[in-house]
Structure 1
Amino acid sequence: MEQDQITTIRQFNREYVQLLGVLDRRVFDTELPFPEARILLMIFEQQSIRPIDVAAALSVDKGYVSRLIRQLEAKQFVKKSAVCSGWSEQVIAIDVSWRCVGPTD
């Protein structure tokens, strides 16, 4: 596939997703938007996983996954391994002290 075709498809996807409001939706009436919830579920299912593997499994840009993981870290849902040589080698796991995600009133 040519680069201009890829660019056109990505632009269409961004506009369509924005139009539908998919990324703004909250999951099961919680504070988590869909993309964060999807990544959190993947981490939970795998027990621990490298961010690069999350990006590959979801076919999502690595930079976008990195930003979402930082948001999950800020909310204290996940922790990244401290010892690593780079982003691709970090391991993320559910923060054992995480609070329950419940409905937002």
Structure 2
Amino acid sequence: MLSAGIPNPNGDGRVPMHLWAAWVTGAVKALTTAVGNVDEATKAQLQKDLSSLQGSIDTVPEEVVQAFAAADDPEEIALRLRAMLGDKATAVGQILARG
């Protein structure tokens, strides 16, 4: 999933995981702002979910984030990740291909 990206919610193709996560986070924040009748328990759960998403994003190593941020092309991203993974690239690729 990291090297292949996530299906683009705005059209064809795929996008890097960190961009997709930013879109999802932004969408959830917009929904919580737009809905004025949300009860406190729901607001608390949404905040907890947002915090969990942000925590997951924050655990991605900076070098991986940079590999995605600098390239939109999946082939270029794959080349950068392959360089970082070294001899583990094939094994990681096989795991990702399984879904």
TM-score, normalised via structure 1 length: 0.29
Higher relative contact order (CA 8 A, sep 6+): 2
TM-score, normalised via structure 2 length: 0.31
Q: Which has the higher helix share?
A: 2
